[in-house]
A and B are shown apart, each in its own frame.
Chain A
Amino acid sequence: MFQQILSGLEAGSWYALLAISIVIVMKATDVPNFAQAQIGMPGAYTAVNLIGQGWPAIPAMLVGICVGYVLGAVIERIAIRPLASLGHFPMLVMTIGLTYALVSIVTITFGSEPRNFPTPWSEGGWEFAGLYIPYAQVVTILLGIVLAVVLTYFFRTTWGVRMRAISENPGNARLIGINSGLVSNLAWGMGAAISTLAMMLHTQGTVLADSSADPLILKAFVAAVLGSFTSLSGAFIGGLSIGVLENLTGMYIGTGWKEAVALVIVVAYLFVRMPVLVKTIKPREV
């Protein structure tokens, strides 16, 4: 069972990282980005390409992350900022369209054949009291935690505070001179970079294919919901929990139901939290 929990934490780390990037983008720009997993694909593919050309893994991955950042920033500037005032549903649909556009570009540029993604730690693991712990799992989980900690500190820095200010009260933030455009850009870049990392961790040691992002996005959104779309730690822990619960369900109930876990969680959670999420009518609106 410990094995399952560990695998669960590994998968959970992917969901958690994606969820964090969803929350960051949401907080800074008020857009639920359905393409958040897909946006990490070009960067991941770049890394794989470089490795294929002989680059060592870590520099290749770093380049991939940079590519991801740039992509996020560009998309924010071109597609998101002009439409900033539209509201959640139009933006959600917009990002759904973006998902399709991105995956098509990836397929056209890199082909639809799965690519190998070897990393120095993808083979082998520790043997330990009858258990086998793959290096890859440990790397994933550790990176996830490290990133979560780094981000917590980030949000205490100047830029981090600015981002929080914008998300809490965009009007006031602008009034005191915070450049919301730059903050949005930063948020989308960061989000895309984190997604790229998540996608790389997801496909490392196995294969990267154009369908790699698909199973992840809904679960990442569920994890974000568990954090009420505003709490990074909630999203992070939510993601890990989903991963663990999935694997335990797969082990004890059946592999088919594994996929349903995230779905059941979100439906149950929203049912329970219903009173708190009720849209309270602000007196000023009337």
Chain B
Amino acid sequence: MSSHSLILKDLSVAFGGNKVLEGVNISFTGGLHGLVGPNGAGKTTCYNAISGYVTPTAGSIELDGTNLVGTPSHEIGSKGIGRTFQTPKLVAKMTVLENVMLGANRTFTTGHVAEFFGTKKARAEERAVREMAYATLAQFGLDGTARDKASSVPLAVQKMVEIARALVTNPVVLLLDEPAAGLGAEDVDRMVEALLKVIKERNLTTVIIEHDLHLVSQICSKLSVLHYGRIIAEGDPKVVVKDEVVIEAYLGKRKAVK
């Protein structure tokens, strides 16, 4: 399986007069690619443009060569762009397992009519999806919570459930939005371990927005830094985090005290 590529070319997004992204060029070509930058830099807007929630004012977004701009958001999801959200979006009423099964919408081959009539194929597929969702949860060590209501599990679990759901969509590109935010060290380790394993197995092009530069420099093969809507640095994480421009963006100019 070769990995898929998602390339942003000269991407610009503006809301009214507010330019959130300006001429952004990034190539996500495989492995775990970090997208970092101070608050308000435009990272989530990048995701929103890719997912089709906002329309860019200029530029293109190419998935394996096909421009996604202008495609309705649910079609973009159908094409295989999976994603998670800053605050996990789970259906509180349903169990963890059912929430994960939601992701299988893209992989179901039988339709709702077949489901209504209870055909053998539909039932077999429902069962297969159930098992697969459970297996995915097990990869994150969450099989014990499968029957709990989504509203009753802690934030860390919710975030991982959302990732599991995104994985169940069998994505070609996975966009993670601050998956580790608000999580304790143990949970982060567990999440990262499962994630890296899956990425390797499926050769999945993954992008991760994160604030923890330390974490990101350890697990990502490449880093892109966004600041005020522009890319200010890109490359090997270990090098990028030491880049002066990047440090200045995060901490502000250090006024020399003489």
Residues of A within 8 A of B (CB): 281, 283, 286
Contact = CB atoms under 8 A, between A and B. Distances in A.
Given A281-B48, A283-B44, 4 more contacts: A283-B48, A283-B53, A286-B47, A286-B53
A283 B44 CA distance: 8
A106 B53 CA distance: 51
B244 to A, nearest CB: 30
B196 interface: no
Interface string B86-116: 1000000000000000000000000000000
B85 A283 contact: no
The 8 A-B residue pairs with the shortest CB-CB distance in the complex, in nearest-first order: A281-B53, A283-B48, A286-B48, A286-B85, A283-B45, A286-B44, A286-B53, A283-B54
A36 to B, nearest CB: 33
Contacts of A283: 15, 44-45, 48, 53-54
B157 to A, nearest CB: 21
A283 B55 CA distance: 11
A281 B54 CA distance: 8
Contacts of B86: 286
Interface string B70-95: 00000000000000011000000000
A95 B121 CA distance: 47
Contacts of B54: 281, 283
A286 B15 CA distance: 16
A286 B54 CA distance: 11
B67 to A, nearest CB: 21
Interface residues of B, number: 9
A281 B52 CA distance: 11
A281 B47 CA distance: 13
B43 to A, nearest CB: 11
Interface in B171-208: none
Contacts of A281: 48, 53-54
A143 to B, nearest CB: 42
15 contacts: A281-B48, A281-B53, A281-B54, A283-B15, A283-B44, A283-B45, A283-B48, A283-B53, A283-B54, A286-B44, A286-B47, A286-B48, A286-B53, A286-B85, A286-B86
Contacts of B45: 283
Nearest to B44: A286
Interface in B43-73: 44-45, 47-48, 53-54
A275 to B, nearest CB: 14
Nearest to B42: A283
A286 B50 CA distance: 13
Contacts of A286: 44, 47-48, 53, 85-86
A86 to B, nearest CB: 16
A165 B117 CA distance: 54
B75 to A, nearest CB: 16
B103 to A, nearest CB: 18
Nearest to B13: A283
A281 B45 CA distance: 12
B162 to A, nearest CB: 13
Nearest to B73: A281
Nearest to B51: A286
A285 to B, nearest CB: 9
A259 B54 CA distance: 42
A110 B54 CA distance: 57
B224 to A, nearest CB: 20
A253 B54 CA distance: 47
B56 to A, nearest CB: 13
B193 to A, nearest CB: 27
Nearest to B86: A286
Interface in B126-169: none
Interface string B24-58: 00000000000000000000110110000110000
Nearest to B83: A286
A104 B85 CA distance: 49
Contacts of B48: 281, 283, 286
A286 B177 CA distance: 10
Contacts of B85: 286
B136 to A, nearest CB: 23
A283 B16 CA distance: 13
Contacts of B47: 286
Nearest to A284: B44
A283 to B, nearest CB: 6
Contacts of B44: 283, 286
A244 B16 CA distance: 40
A90 to B, nearest CB: 16
B49 to A, nearest CB: 10
B29 to A, nearest CB: 25
B175 to A, nearest CB: 11
A286 B89 CA distance: 9
B58 to A, nearest CB: 18
A281 B44 CA distance: 13
Nearest to B53: A281
